[in-house]
Structure 1
Amino acid sequence: MSYQVGQKLTGGVARLRETETTPPKRFTDGTLISAMTSIHRFVSNEADRKVLRDTKGIGTERTRDAIIETLKQRKYIVRGKGGYLEPTNLGIELIQRLPRELSDPVTTAKWEMALGLIEQGKMTRQQFDAMIRGNATKLVEALKGVKFDLDRMGIKAVEDKPRPEIDETLPGHGETCEKCRKGRMVGKRLPSGKKVVGCSNFPSCKHSKWID
């Protein structure tokens, strides 16, 4: 991206010169681990920076490698040219659509700090439980309104298929299953027009009879 910079010359005359910005380098496995350790450097809010410094970043020395591998396995990131990690459309869509709290490193950092307060006797288990439940409830409600671009995520939409209708008039409906002796036979009319009576204990019992 190009932009203009003002340059003051001798005699008080100003001149504009055009230059270009350079994007930051992508992470490698090693530099990403370093960034996770010093995640506070990427946060502008000073209070949040302090929280992240106190909790020593995202994850621990033992878990950071595993976190990156999980991101690769779930196809949120891939290794590109030169060993640099690149986000996939799936990963980008996920981060852009999810509530900010789920992608904000400060969220889990605050939970970690709360656990430390319990250890110090400054917070009770009941208070921590109430905090987590409140946060989880708020996130679940926020997720109900999230709509993902399935095409961008590489996921095929599942079309709603017509379901069979219960037909109590079919012979054998309501009778005890003669095979497992636990379930009841249920009469159903399929979208195709076929009729069947099957055990309610499915899939443990797959006994069924087609009705002519």
Structure 2
Amino acid sequence: MEASSIPRIKICCISSVEEAHAAIRAGASALGLVSSMPSGPGVISEPLIAEIAATVPPPIGTFLLTCSQDARDIIAQQRRCRTNTVQICDRLTAGSYADLRGAMPGVSLVQVIHVTGEESLEEALSVASHVDALLLDSGNQSLAVKELGGTGRVHDWAISRHIREQVRVPVFLAGGLRPENVGEAIRQVGPFGLDLCSSVRTDGRLDTEKLARFFTQLRS
């Protein structure tokens, strides 16, 4: 996949209709709506996810972040939440991507790869052909309490670049992205999109001034 010059921006951990529309006004192309997770920030109820998603105009992406590893559960969750995209934050262990495709026509599938080492490249290559995009994050599925996102940590961007160069689907980059390092992240990885959370928040709430500064830095 070729590098993207100015990446699309996904704002994660959206917690209200107001935050959703503030992010869109600032220039976000996608919104992350976090359902139940073993750890990490931004979790909201499924009824609230559905309420927010219903107010978001096309072509903005509404990403349902799910920790479920069972295709049937993911299908049922998307039907309750009515998002146009599902972000699978853990490995699928029951059912298949084909099951998801068949049950959710028109819904995009994004698989998270938690970049922990060179083995992450093999994992990315094994799933890329089954999904619409990959999202490279800095979690750890091996911990007693899994980290599936929202860590605020930067991972090894050299590995992320190798993944981006070898897969044929768009790649989003997440994990510890801030105004001070976003330029280097784009140069090193060349992602299609960037996924932001803590860097554009103050005391957990979306900070429109920080968001504006981030977009200014991105465009410069």
TM bucket (normalised to shorter chain) is: under 0.3
> TM-score, normalised on structure 2?
0.18
Q: Which has the larger radius of gyration?
A: 1
